[in-house]
Amino acid sequence: MTNKQLLGIAVQRPAVFAMAAFVLAALQGADANLSLFFLQRQDRWLLLVGALLLALCLWRLPTRERAFAGSWRLALAIGTLMAVVAFAGHYLILSGHDLSRDEQMATFDAQVFAQGQLVAPLSGVWRHHADALNTMFMYPTSETAGWVSAYLPFNAVLRALFGLIGDAAMTGPAMLMLGAVALWGCARRIWPADHETAVVALLLYLGSGQILFNGMTAYAMPAHLALNLCWLWLFLRRTMWTDLAALAVGFVAVGLHQPIMHPMFAAPILFLLVLERDWRRATIYFLGYVAIGAFWAWWPNAMWALVEGDAVATKEQGIDYISRLILTVIQGDGLRLANMVANILRFFAWQHLLLLPLLPLGLAIARKDRLAGALAGGVLLTTMVMLIILPYQGHGFGYRYLHGLIGNFILLAVFGWMSLGEAKARWRTLLARTTAAGLVVVLPLQAWMAHSLYAPYARASERIAASGADYVVVGETDAPFAVDLIINSPALDARPIRLMRGAVDPALAEALCAAHAAPLVAFVGNETLEPIRAYYGATEAGTARDKANQAVGTQLRQWQCRTTIIE
């Protein structure tokens, strides 16, 4: 393939992805679900801008004969820069707000663990009315004696530790820094005679909006990426002690959030030991992961026993991971393929501009190189499994379920870089230009998109917090994802306590109003929710919301509660 053909590919593939995004958005529309809304609102424009920037970067492209050079200090500098930007961005771009339920649960659990508890106790009226507090993504119970999320704990543990030493919001940024250093280490182990490869990998890492903006959040994904890269770095060292250290990292990685994410990354790489007939290392990892799997399979049952207050209650489906997986698959997804295509398009829309052009070259190498094949295998395995069990990801920057494998994508792209031969002289200039274009044009555009999404919810949440009410009732359908405004502290020690309108029944109304002398209960009005609806282009809830609020308000006033509206 000639240099001219290679440079042509650099534009052709991103252009095809941009066209695919516009076609899918036109066919499915923005109302089908959140994935397709983001495709229409954000991703198709990012892909189009990316393709245009790539075309501009190819104009009068000079050669650069001198290879890129750097050391671990460059990795630390890039990681530190990204960490600082991510920490500032949490407050300046995301308004210091946890938007999605995944983010909220990580913060919730961190607050529980910081108090030295495994679950936060619930007593009194809340034992039988916990649903009104919003227990989505928590363990289902008959009588709720305590509450904690149904996710595995280590993401929240990390956040609790950073919270104790400063600010839990430092967790994601710290993972960005760790990931940059570990990526540099992986590249140096894979290509020990070529220092340029590590620099190329770091530049691709630096230009990833998915890495940067998820690092501003409470999602577990930054830790998944950092720990997977640390695991690979240790695995590649091929010593007894580093293998044991890799298993320790694997234990934490499996227990971050959902148990299947790290194994799908690690399994194809561990299969290399079978191909190499390295039975000693294969046995160590096999026994190690059997123990890890057994422990984390036991964990949900142990936590359920702590939160369930009825000693004779039977376990509902969804407590253990097998039944939870079966439920997820049975529920199905009528837009399974469309969602996954949207996910893949969203993934590349939030990556470095040159990742997509280089990736096919790396995939070609994966047919011959075992390690490259294993890295590609992790991507393929994760994509196929998630297509079957959960193609809809909800909120998140890029495609979160592939976040832990961004290191795989980058290293595959570097494999592609190595195949360029003499064409590297022009591609070096292209890499420098696209990195600069991404930092100057794409990342600010993505920052604006992120702020536009988070700010309306942050402002609504602030108005609720400043209402002065004892309780605030939120209608789950009054605005898109209004249920995510219903988040309470584990100890219920902050006012107002936020309640789901659909779960406020006469018994709860009586209990709340009798607990204090004429407590004030507020309902959320149109002015507070309108910016959220405007972002999604949703219609005003109007009459339905008012009738539902009036019905609940009548119940509350019957028991001497006072009511008001947060406009």
User: Per residue in 489-500, pLDDT tens?
Assistant: 999 998 999 999
For the segment 89-140, what is each residue's pLDDT rounded down to a tens digit? 999 999 999 999 999 999 999 999 999 999 999 988 999 999 999 999 999 8
Nearest to 413 by CA among 179, 208, 215, 178: 208
Q: What's the pLDDT band for 540 if we cut at 50, 70, 90?
A: confident
Least confident of 289-298, 333-342, 422-431, 555-564: 333-342
Return mean pLDDT, the chain: 93
Q: What integer pLDDT is reported at residue 150 of this predicted model?
A: 93
Burial class for 202, CB neighbours closer than 10 Å (0-12, 13-18, 19+): buried
Structure tokens at 23: 């076609």
> Percentage of residues in the chain with pLDDT exceeding 70?
98
Q: What is the pLDDT of residues 127-137, one digit of tens each?
A: 999 999 999 99
3-state SS, residue 142 = coil
pLDDT at position 332: 66
Span 431-440, pLDDT tens digits: 999 999 999 9
Region 221-232: mean pLDDT is 98
- Residue 5's pLDDT band, with cuts at 50, 70 and 90, is low
Here the tokens at position 542 are: 């109007």
Q: What integer pLDDT is reported at residue 7 of this predicted model?
A: 66
- pLDDT range class, residue 543, cuts 50, 70, 90: confident
Compute the average pLDDT of residues 177-194. Answer: 97
Q: Average the pLDDT over 31-42 and give the result.
A: 90
pLDDT value of position 325: 73
- Note the pLDDT of residue 340: 94
pLDDT band at 483 (very low <50, low <70, confident <90, very high): very high
- Over residues 316-323, the mean pLDDT reads 74
Strand ordering across the sheet containing 471-474: 497-500, 471-474, 520-524, 562-566
Q: Among 1-10, 411-420, 535-544, whose mean pLDDT is lowest?
A: 1-10
Q: What's the one-letter identity of residue 52?
A: L
Predicted confidence (pLDDT) per residue in 441-463, tens digit: 999 999 999 999 999 999 999 99
Contact of 203 with 431, CB cutoff 8 Å: yes
**508 pLDDT above the threshold of 90:** yes
Which residues share a beta bridge with 472?
Answer: 498, 522
| Residue 260 exposed, middle or buried by CB count within 10 Å (0-12, 13-18, 19+) | middle
Residue environment code for 452-486, b if the CB has 16+ CB neighbours within 10 A, otherwise e: ebbbbbbebbebbeebebbbbbbbbebbbbbbbbb
Residue 251 has pLDDT above 90, yes or no: yes
DSSP, res 195: T
Residue 4 pLDDT > 70: no
pLDDT tens-place string over residues 364-417: 999 999 999 999 999 999 999 999 988 888 899 999 999 999 999 999 999 999
Specify the pLDDT at position 2: 57
* Cα–Cα distances in angstroms (integers) from residue 518 to residues 129, 491, 523, 557, 559, in the given order: 20, 22, 16, 9, 8
Q: What is the pLDDT of residue 562?
A: 93
Whether pTM > 0.85 for this model: the answer is yes
CB contact at 8 A, 93 and 458? no
**pLDDT above 60 (res 141):** yes
C-alpha distances (whole Å) from 156 to each of 87, 103, 172, 564 are: 17, 10, 11, 36
Which tens digit of pLDDT belongs to each residue from 56-90?
A: 998 888 888 898 998 999 999 999 999 999 999 99
Which pLDDT score, from 0 to 100, does residue 355 have? 97
Q: What percent of the chain has pLDDT over 90?
A: 80
Average the pLDDT over 272-291 and give the result: 97
For position 421, what pLDDT does the model report? 87
Choice among 7-11, 39-43, 177-181, 264-268 with the minimum mean pLDDT = 7-11
